[in-house]
Amino acid sequence: ADSVGNIGVSCFILISGYFGIRWNGKKMIKLDLMLIFYCWIGLAFRLAWGTAGGGENILSYLFPVIGKYSWYFTCYFALAALSPFLNEAIERLGQRRLKQLILVMLLIFSGVTTFFFFDITGDSGKGIVQMVMLYLIGRYIRISGMVGRYRAGKLAAAFAAAAAVNIALNGTLYVVTGTVQNRFARDNTLFIIAEAVLAFLIF
């Protein structure tokens, strides 16, 4: 299931990159307050049920943006804070150099992880490095005019092929090791990134 279902976050960041993030302090405060509200409600239930855990767990709920339970929001806030600098850097780089930067990042942070299982960032793609890379890819898709360039049928076939290979490789690892493996379905593998880009271009 992860071989296909794990592309959700990647697709959202691609969308953010395509349209571009513009830092808005008021909106970020509202988002933070919303997150705090739901986390505190969740903490209240956990305290009532006696499953809140120790002090570190409680602090993670009290301060969700810097807590371990909301890695996505933590990274998104960081990405939003970096967005003015990223946007300026993208404009200065131009399309050709941006493409080169993305390819280098894919090689270092995804190629090595995909084929050698060595996760350089140590977060399985659930971190700010992955988000920045996907944001840059989203911007490149916008700048290069890729949307609408390819037929939906071909994109869907490519998506199905990438997903099939992903599933087959994870299945092979299961046969070899005897345990369920999702190494090729992690956020920072080339397969998940390719599937996310293809899904984005289809829709």
pLDDT digits (tens, 9 = 90+) for 120-144: 999 999 999 999 999 999 999 999 9
pLDDT at 88: 96
pLDDT greater at residue 53 or residue 113:
113
pLDDT at 89: 96
Distance between CA atoms of 22 and 139, rounded to whole angstroms? 13
What amino acid occupies position 187? D
Q: Residue 151, Cβ neighbours under 10 Å: how many?
A: 10
What are the tens digits of pLDDT across the range 8-57?
999 999 999 999 998 888 888 888 888 888 888 888 888 888 777 776 67
Q: Is the per-residue pLDDT at 168 higher than 90?
A: yes
Asked whether the beta carbons of 134 and 17 are under 8 A apart, the reply is: yes
| Per-residue pLDDT band at 110 (split at 50, 70, 90) | very high
| Per-residue pLDDT band at 69 (split at 50, 70, 90) | low
Mean pLDDT, the chain, whole residue set: 90
Asked whether the beta carbons of 185 and 192 are under 8 A apart, the reply is: yes
Asked whether the beta carbons of 67 and 59 are under 8 A apart, the reply is: yes
Distance between CA atoms of 60 and 93, rounded to whole angstroms? 38
